[in-house]
Structure 1
Amino acid sequence: MTSPTATSPAATSPAADIVRPYGDTTGDGMVQVSFTLPIPHDKRAEGAALQLARKMGLEPALLVHAKAMGPDFTFFVVYGSATHLVDLRDVVVVEREFPLLSPAEVNKAVKSRLRRKLVVVGACIGTDAHTVGIDAILNIKGFAGEKGLEYYREIKVVNLGAQVLVPELVARARAEKADAVMVSQVVTQRDAHIHNTTTMSAAFREAYPAGQVPLLVVGGPRFEEGSAPKLGVDRIFGRGTTPGEVASYLVHALTPAPARPKETS
């Protein structure tokens, strides 16, 4: 069996880059969506849900579930065929710009380049009480078969837990002389994760001299890739991030690789 080459029809045909959702048969466009409308559950509400589905590009659309959410709201599940096409050539992917390192490699790099322990302070800020994400990265038990940063001999971890006020986070980071500050944001109602992150980044830049702000790293399921500069942080990690990825990034960002010796002629 031969592998496809760059000149194969499947690789070069524009049609290969155009896809539709798959339901029962290839390219049938079938998708399932759920949403809530602020109206009581009745026939009029169900008609409104189907109207919305059609305006979303589902044609035909089938209402498969409707349930009252109190007296004034209704939750719907709609199944239908999407009329939209996706052009894979327009998809922008944020590539990882650093190599993945083993715990031993991380420890060796920190010890040889930084010559002291790398200090990480982590927390969930604002009213966010969901510590599962930050604990998965920091606690020794880790996530996805990988041990957390507490396992790394050359990393000192200070986990402040949940509902930490931004001034408290800044003060503790200063006291610990943190190299990096890691914040987890799971609560996203009314864009709370965006507000909390920008407030946090502004507070650190106000509290530290220019060029001395710790590395600011934020994680959560609803952050957009590539939005770190807009939010004033150095890095954003999304769902599925493992402790090894974070540790490798810290080495990449905080411990510059030694310069290569110049070649002599």
Structure 2
Amino acid sequence: MSALPEGVPPVVRPYGDTTGDGMVQVSFTLPLPPGKRAEGAAAQLARRMGIDQPMVVHAKGIGDRYTFFVVYGPVSHVVDVAAVEVVQREYPLLTPKETNAAIRDALQRKLVVVGACIGTDAHTVGIDAILNVKGWAGEKGLEYYREMKVVNLGAQVSVPDLVERARAERADAVLVSQVVTQRDAHVHNTTTMSAAFREAFPATRRPLLVVGGPRFDETGAAALGVDRVFGRGTTPGEVASYLVHAVAGRSGGPAGQEAPA
């Protein structure tokens, strides 16, 4: 159990119309044509999910074989706030100027970052938001940092090609974005990638492996075999600050480089 900040209650319930009334709203699709039977099926599913007296407040046919629902109702469950597991940021957020200075002090060279979307994922909006100089959310991307060398490989990069390019660039860190999540493609691609890097590099020379995407669980880095997972809303400054913290803090020399004699 972790200590709670002052003013945070130990137990909470969902809030709908009044505090603590337990009201929740869920949406889902059933493979049933629109109609009364489909709405009854949606209500039955909601009751089995723990929603008491569910109200089907929206039902919309998707073609002639599927129906999308929004269901509203109360649940009796409570949340033990102290038992909630999250990834706390263990490093300070740095400005670009501070990041550049920290890299110069720690590495005496540029920090090399290779980024890509792997597998069949062609959605580069995530990796571009972090790497491209135009950035995202009012922050410039890693290309803006003078003490970083950024190699953006783009979309649909195979894992072997990513490993070879990381080796050729002597990358300190490899950033992978995964937006396509059907059938857990993001999980499969990431575990395949992490296994390939562990096979190709000695432990002390392996680049830092960082993945990001809207469907990743930030607590799942160990299961995926990577060093860090970033979820939705991550900004370039957060990634840059983490890279400085992690790469500069590695013992035996920076990742991807020869350790000092």
Taking structure 2 as the reference length, the TM-score comes to 0.90
Contact 1:186 1:222 in 2 (8 A): yes
Contact 2:134 2:141 in 1 (8 A): yes
1:207 aligns with 2:167: no
Flag the structure with larger Rg: 1
Give the SS at the match of 2:27. Answer: strand
| Alpha-carbon separation, structure 2, partners of 1:17 and 1:185 | 35
1:34 aligns with 2:49: no
Provide, for residues 63-112 of structure 1, a one-character-per-residue CA deviation record: whole Å limited to 9, x for no partner. 11112222322111111112211121221232111111111111111112
Q: Over aligned residues, Cα RMSD in angstroms?
A: 1.8
1:148 aligns with 2:141: yes
- 2:106 is matched with 113
Shift of 1:235: 0.7
Residues matched between the structures, number: 247
Q: Which runs of 5+ in 2 are unaligned?
A: 252-261
The letter of the residue matching 2:214 is P
Give the SS at the match of 2:149. Answer: strand
**Which range moved further: 179-188 or 79-88?**
79-88
Matches within 5 A, 1:13-52: 16-52=9-45
Give the SS at the match of 1:48. Answer: helix
Matches within 5 A, 1:208-223: 208-223=201-216
Contact 2:86 2:219 in 1 (8 A): no
Contact 1:100 1:244 in 2 (8 A): yes
Taking structure 1 as the reference length, the TM-score comes to 0.88
Shift of 1:257: 9.2
- Which runs of 4 or more aligned residues in structure 1 lie more than 3 Å from their structure 2 counterparts after TM superposition? none
Shift of 1:23: 1.3
Structure 2 residue aligned with 1:240, among 224, 228, 233?
233
Contact 1:113 1:257 in 2 (8 A): no
- 2:86 is matched with 93
| Alpha-carbon separation, structure 1, partners of 2:160 and 2:81 | 44
Give the SS at the match of 1:71. Answer: coil
Contact 2:55 2:72 in 1 (8 A): yes
Structure 2 residue aligned with 1:55, among 48, 53, 63?
48
The letter of the residue matching 2:124 is T
Structure 2 residue aligned with 1:125, among 108, 118, 125?
118
- 2:244 is matched with 251
Percent identity among equivalent residues? Answer: 73
The letter of the residue matching 1:216 is L
Structure 2 residue aligned with 1:78, among 67, 71, 79?
71
Cα distance, 1:31–1:218 mapped onto 2, change above 3 Å: same
Q: Which runs of 5+ in 1 are unaligned?
A: 1-5, 259-265
The letter of the residue matching 1:64 is V
